[in-house]
A = this chain, B = another copy of it.
Amino acid sequence: MAGGIGSRFWPASRSSHPKQLLDLTGSGQTMIAATVARLTPLIPPQQVFVITSQKIRDAVSQELPDVPGANIIAEPAGRNTAPCIGLAALIIRRIHPEAVMAVMPSDHLVKDIPSFQRAMTVGIRAAAGGNLVTFGIRPSSPETGFGYIETGDEAAPGVRTAVRFVEKPSLELAQTYLRSGNFVWNSGMFFFKATAILNEIQQRLPELFQGLSIIDQAIGTPEEAAVIAAVFPTLPSVSIDYGIMEKADGIHCVPVDFGWSDLGSFEAAWDRSEKNAQGNALAKEHIAIDSHNCFVRAPAGKIVALVGLDDVVVVDTGDALLICRKDRAQDVRHVVSALASSGRDDLL
């Protein structure tokens, strides 16, 4: 899934060059390239499908030279995750009716790749039995920015039943969840047979299923592109979590601990970046005087000087400059809203 726009990473992230096409932590790899790279030991590139937007389809394709161009599918309009996953399921079911899908956001970070790959095999095996399966991240702190999953009994080695999905909790509730030991973060990474998720969509999102069925009949025909272009934008915009996962029965959860981050803000990018002794993750050319725990990005060759600054995010892209208190990094999306409502689409 590579359709996001990453508005909390403005001005680095733009609609034509969003978060998944950036290397926000200085890893040397864009997030989408890293996402595919950690899958390919288990899933050959020919079996990797990317659903993205028309605007960045070519850029995604260039980032993933080993993934066949035909596997990179542009949504005519963003309709949230349920239509995206439904479309992918149609395509994958045609290739193999028993196929298991691993659904991965293209803009998450994983630190411990071997552990991730071991968890993948557990997830895929669990999904092969017909259940919807999710990765649940063992919480390291009482985060209030994530949904949680309460896990139940062991369903198979390394797999638990999911008792319930809960929306982003209050801090108090999150602390209770953390203490209980039974709650994990909803990672947004899923495993299921293509047929299994289509069955769930048929039951719980019949309007979506109806639209997908029209598209399904056109797949492989000369009308495929025209039908997708006509029908997809009319599909209900709903997330797979809200539309299916929070309601479906028999969901299984693989509790995992592989150093995951959804990299939700510049604060998280700072957290995951290499830092110097002063806690600064800085642009290449810099002078920092009495400054600590800052995150700085600037165009190559530009010198950035900090004086007496703590916990500040600075992102200079040549045409735009963001300076943000690090603990307010979530609010960068409000800058994007303000630009949108003032008609500055050139900066989005």
Which residues of A come within 8 Å of B, CB atoms? Answer: 10-11, 287, 289-290, 298, 301-309, 312, 314, 316, 318-325, 327-329, 331-332, 334-335, 338-339, 344, 347
Contacts and interface: CB of A to CB of B under 8 A. Distances in A.
A304 B287 contact: no
Contact of A307 (B316, B319, B335): B335
Given A307-B334, A316-B316, 16 more contacts: A10-B305, A302-B319, A303-B320, A304-B320, A304-B322, A305-B323, A306-B324, A307-B324, A307-B328, A307-B332, A308-B325, A308-B327, A309-B312, A309-B323, A312-B312, A316-B321
B309 A321 contact: no
Number of copies of this chain that the complex holds: 2
B287 A305 contact: no
Contact of A323 (B312, B328, B331, B334): B312
A322 B305 contact: yes
Contacts of A323: 304-307, 309, 312, 314, 323
B303 A319 contact: yes
Instruction: For the complex of A and B, list the 5 residue pairs with the smallest distance between their C-beta atoms, beginning with the closest.
Output: A308-B328, A308-B325, A307-B324, A305-B335, A304-B321
Contacts of A298: 321
A304 B335 CA distance: 10
Contacts of A322: 304-305, 307
Contacts of A11: 305
A321 B314 contact: yes
B339 A289 contact: no
16 contacts: A287-B339, A289-B331, A298-B321, A303-B320, A303-B339, A304-B320, A304-B322, A305-B321, A305-B335, A306-B324, A307-B325, A307-B332, A307-B334, A308-B327, A316-B321, A323-B323
Contacts of A301: 319
A324 B335 CA distance: 22
Contact of A303 (B289, B307, B347): B347
A332 B289 CA distance: 9
By CB atoms of chain B within 10 A, which of A11, A323, A331, A335 has the most? A323
Contacts of A10: 305
A331 B307 contact: yes
Contacts of A320: 302-305
A227 to B, nearest CB: 40
Contacts of A347: 303
B302 A321 contact: yes
A303 B344 contact: yes
A189 to B, nearest CB: 30
A321 B299 CA distance: 11
A53 to B, nearest CB: 24
A331 B307 CA distance: 7
A309 B287 contact: no
